[in-house]
Structure 1
Amino acid sequence: MIWIGLAIVVLTFYLIYKNYEARLVLACSGLIMAFIGQVFAGSSTTVSVAVDAFVKQLVNGGLVPTIVTVMGFGYVMTYTKCSDHLVNMLVKPLTHVPFIVIPGAALITWVLNIILPSAAGIAAAVGVLLIPALIALKVRPVMAAAAVFVGTWGSVVSPGLMFNPQIASIAFKAKEIPSADAMIVIMQEALPCAVGAVVAAIVLAVICAFLKEGVGSTEITKELPEGEEIQKDFKVNPIKAIVPIIPLALLVLASKQVGLLPTKAFSVPVCMLIGTAIGIVVAIFNKQKVGDVSKRFCRGAGDGFCDVVILIAAAALFAAGMKSIGLTGTLVDAMKGSQSVAMFAAAVGPFVMAAICGSGNAAALAFNEAITPNAADFGLTVVQLGAVAQIAAGLGRTMSPVAGGVIILAGIAGVNPMEIVKRTAIPVILALVVVTVLMFILN
């Protein structure tokens, strides 16, 4: 049974790598393993139990409201152009300080990705502004694209990322944290990830200097992307630029670690709805229809449920299938008593999967559903193990030549995605080592 289960898992991730629909592949694999476990091994985790695991995620009161409201808020910020004002406000000053443009571009992208937690979305929003500006400073286009791409993992500390609410829910069930609050998880991840981001930015700057691809290294031999002239004349409205930050600021102020606002009154959904309400006010001043803003929010919420919640549910079904066929128990037994093995598996598995197929979501979700609840058996906390898995997935994506973000940036810069990845690989590998070690030491 174990070997059959392992073969199914390998085939599952191979199909995901080949760009088959991840939700369908995970769900089908989970059902097949659950059926085999029920019929041939007499497992207590039957097909009906596995389906129940799927359904429970669809109505998860801590997970679903967080994801759909964050996605809805993000769509509203895009529609009202508030996100454009924020990006322009942060990016433009870099062009006046040439010697920090490479690490600065990486860190600004990383911070913006926390607020707007879509790697491809932030790559497009920042890339269309920053890459032409860097090329104008005679930075080689491939390095300009790499500087933006290496910052597209900031979403790992965003309350809108699917993993943080998931880890919080698991940790709460394990009685490790007082409530299923994603901000508790984020506060434990924040410092290690911030240090990792700085390390990645500095290492990329060193690589840039070694390859002589920085400011003044080349002549401008290609036309800059269309629309650059418009961006040069873009007038930042500070009020609009601040709006996307408001929900994140409220969440930090209401976190147990800060405590300036009542935690229960300012949950993630509440803060996102406050931000959306402010977005509606902005839309009114923009002479945009309030009804259209509402439609954008609903579309974002719907896409969040479709793209994120159902993926999480499919991963839960897959994990139930692994348990039914006996694979989860075998993996747990293999890692029991060895912190180093568990941490290595959490870091390397999702990282490699993400680097290969451009998304580590499926691997990280499956790992967190199947292995992370058993963190205590390895002498680790749920947050440590789960956070390392999801951070590794984000970093692995940041050195994948097939990730959506790198393809967008390669198109803007007019370069080969593989050339970009060659420059981001060392920075993100070192960042993974730093973050994993710090998560182990500090938490």
Structure 2
Amino acid sequence: MENVLTLVITFISIVIVARLILKKYNAILVFFAAGLLINLYLAIATGYSPIAEQTTGNLILDVFAFIGSEFKEQLGGVGTNLMVVAGYASLMTHIGASEKLAVTATKPLMKLNKPYLILAFLYIIGAVLKMMITSHAGLSLLLMATTFPILIRLGISKLSAASAILISGALDWGVNDGAVLFAAENVSGFSVSDYFVNYQFLPASISILTVAIVMAIYFKRIDARQGAEKSSTSDVAYDNGEKANELNWLYAILPALPLLLVMSSVFLPNMEIEVFTANVIGLIVTLLLETIRLRKDIAKTLADYLSVTFKAMGNSFANIVTLIVAASVFAKGLIQLGGITLIANQIAKFSGAQLIIIVALSLLSFFAVIILGSGNAGWYAFGPLVTDIAPKVGLEAVQIAVPMQLAAGMGRGLSPVAAAMLSVVGLAGVELESLIKRNTVPVVCGLVANIISSYLIHVVF
């Protein structure tokens, strides 16, 4: 009877949280409220303290002190990295370096005379750019402005062009991405470079190649069947990169500089550059280049740049770091309830339990993001479950974290409330339902490729 009650409370907690977020309640508020209520219930009903070793001496006070403890823990680890990454990314957008990178990377494609091959390559380049331009919405807007109208003129339908652009930025991978930092440091217990190179890179690459092939074949057939708008003009004015043209080619490297610095440890084992250090170096290099380029009003301009950077860092704390803390309070309460553990113990008795767990948690993460619209919200909320579940089926946390975290990003490609989805729909002038329908086949194929490749690479072999 006690187990049934535990399962019921766990199920009700998840359903209520999902419904409130679907009704547009702030996700941070919902996670905090749900987490506090669960932990208060546990404190009163079972005498549980979330900070037993640092107890205040009162179980109720311990629940509230737990929030402060989580803030300190996150700010001392992944939170600080996320803030500096957000600040650097914002500066890259502000000075036009992100636009320079996007234009430089996509321009050579337009010389090919194979529209759907160009579309597939554009998707791959967009996915690679996502490692450097970590905002899904930001990357989608850049590609919509610089490449969408050209794809339309090549004879590709608006839906197919918009789909390729939207999905290209949905996958969260690379050492500078917040979801990856969380997966590596908080869930798996690895450095982000180790997690990316040894665990995430191969499954992510296989998923990307799968989606590219599916797009090239499926979009060509469906456009031929439905009739692409070959002579249509887009409501999005083509941006030939005027701002980017003002910048030296070196500026195209700046968004990638932190990635290159962190990855240098793979080739230089005696030297390891952390994410925070890499982004600080990138910031200093950027300020030096801008000093050389501008020459006048330098002090005012550089002060403005620092203001942009620190403002973005503050916004990151207010939105991302606080979301991580709120989701962590909810997730740890959910784990302590015991319902998830009961389910995992039952699954562990089945043949093929490891694959079942990987599929189940990956789908949980995938559908949570479709509902929530934020890859971060779903992953931060359910990612911590991995460390508790993995040992019960004989797995390491990273073996579940990789497919689960990648699946979370992919879910944005089908989410009707994701910021990038709504932005692309508005700019492309297509219907939301039609774009989601067009996205379904490549996204599902990518999801399947992710789960299968992750299981084979990290569990079977």
- 1:341–1:210 distance in 2 versus 1, CA, 3 Å: same
Instruction: Sort the Cα spacing of 1:139 and 1:170 in 2 relative to 1 into closer, same or farther, 3 A.
Output: closer
Q: 1:17 aligns with which of 22, 26, 33?
A: 22
Equivalence for 2:236? 225
Give the TM-score normalised by the residue count of structure 2: 0.87
Structure 2: distance between partners of 1:95 and 1:233: 17
Question: What is the distance in 2 between the residues matched to 1:392 and 1:48?
Answer: 37
Q: Which residue of 2 aligns with 1:141?
A: 158
Contact 1:80 1:282 in 2 (8 A): no
Give the structure 2 partner of residue 177 of structure 1. Answer: none
**Greater CA drift, 45-54 or 375-384:** 45-54
Contact 1:323 1:370 in 2 (8 A): yes
Other-structure match for 2:315: 303
1:279 pairs with 2:289: no
Per the alignment, residue 53 of structure 2 pairs with none
Structure 1 stretch 154-163 or stretch 26-35: which is displaced more?
A: 154-163
Please say if 1:269 is aligned against 2:276: yes
Q: 1:41·1:325 contact (CA, 8 Å) conserved in 2?
A: no
1:244 equivalent among 236, 243, 255: 255
Q: Provide Cα deviations, 1:39-88, integer angstroms capped at 9, x if missing partner.
A: 23443445555445433342232212210111111011111111111000
SS of the counterpart of 2:172? helix
TM-score (norm 1): 0.90
| Alpha-carbon offset, residue 305 of structure 1 | 1.3
Over 3 Å counting, the alpha-carbon distance change for 1:200 and 1:412 in structure 2 is same
Shift of 1:245: 1.1
> Deviation of residue 229 (structure 1)?
5.9
CA distance in structure 1 between the partners assigned to 2:244 and 2:204 by the alignment: 35
Contact 1:31 1:47 in 2 (8 A): no
1:320-339 alignment runs, 5 A limit:
320-336=332-348, 338-339=353-354
Deviation string 1:350-374 (CA, Å, 9 cap, x unpaired) is: 1112123322433322222233344
The answer to whether the 8 Å contact 2:92/2:255 transfers is: yes
Report 1:204-215 matches (<5 A). Answer: 204-212=215-223
Number of positions where the alignment pairs a residue of Structure 1 with one of Structure 2: 431
1:54 aligns with 2:54: no
Report if the CA contact (8 A) 1:159-1:183 is conserved: no
Distance in 1 (CA, whole Å) between partners of 2:159 and 2:47 is 56
Q: Is the 8 A contact 1:17 1:357 kept in 2?
A: yes
Corresponding position of 2:11: 6
**What is the CA–CA distance in structure 1 between the aligned matches of 2:195 and 2:244, rounded to whole Å?**
41
Are the equivalent residues in 1 in contact too, given 2:79–2:317 (CA < 8 A)?
A: yes
The verdict on how the C-alpha distance between 1:27 and 1:137 changes in structure 2, with shifts beyond 3 A counting, is same
Aligned residue number for residue 268 of structure 2: 259
| Residues in 2 aligned to 1:420 and 1:300: alpha-carbon distance in whole angstroms | 31
SS of structure 1 residue aligned to 2:236 = coil
CA contact (8 A) 1:156 1:390 kept: no
Give the letter for the 1:280 counterpart.
Answer: L
Task: Report the Cα offset of residue 273 of structure 1.
Answer: 0.6
Q: Is 1:417 the equivalent of 2:424?
A: no
Confirm or deny: 8 A CA contact 1:72 1:297 kept in the other structure. Answer: yes
Q: Provide Cα deviations, 1:275-307, integer angstroms capped at 9, x if missing partner.
A: 111111233244361101111110121122111
For 1:182, the equivalent position in structure 2 comes to: 192
2:130 is paired with a residue whose SS is helix
Q: Return closer, same or farther for 1:234/1:211 CA change in 2, 3 Å cut-off.
A: farther
Given that 1:5 and 1:33 are in contact with CA atoms closer than 8 Å, whether structure 2 keeps it comes out as: no
1:433 maps onto 2:443 in alignment: no
Aligned-partner Cα distance in 2 for 1:201–1:225:
24
Distance in 2 between residues matched to 1:101 and 1:213, nearest whole Å: 16
Residue in 2 that maps onto 1:167: 184
Amino acid at match of 1:274: I
Does the alignment pair 1:84 with 2:99?
yes
Equivalent residue number for residue 79 of structure 2: 64
Is the 1:145–1:413 Cα contact (8 Å) retained in structure 2? yes
User: C-alpha root-mean-square deviation of aligned residues, in Å?
Assistant: 2.4
Q: Note if contact 2:49-2:63 (Cα within 8 Å) is conserved in structure 1.
A: no
Shift of 1:118: 0.9
Tell me which of 93, 97, 111 is aligned to 1:96: 111
Q: Judge conservation of contact 2:79–2:321 (CA < 8 Å) in 1.
A: yes
Unaligned runs of 5+ in 2: 51-58
The answer to whether the 8 A contact 1:34-1:321 is kept is: yes
SS in 2 for 1:212: helix
Whole-Å separation in 2 of the counterparts to 1:252 and 1:323: 34
Establish whether residue 107 from structure 1 lines up as the match of residue 116 from structure 2: no
Q: Aligned equivalents of 2:181 and 2:347: distance in 1? A: 23
**C-alpha separation between the residues in 2 aligned to 1:324 and 1:94?**
52
Rounded to whole Å, the distance in 2 between the matches of 1:318 and 1:168 is 19
Shift in alpha-carbon separation, 1:259–1:55, aligned structure 2, 3 A: farther
Structure 1: gaps spanning 5 or more residues: 173-179
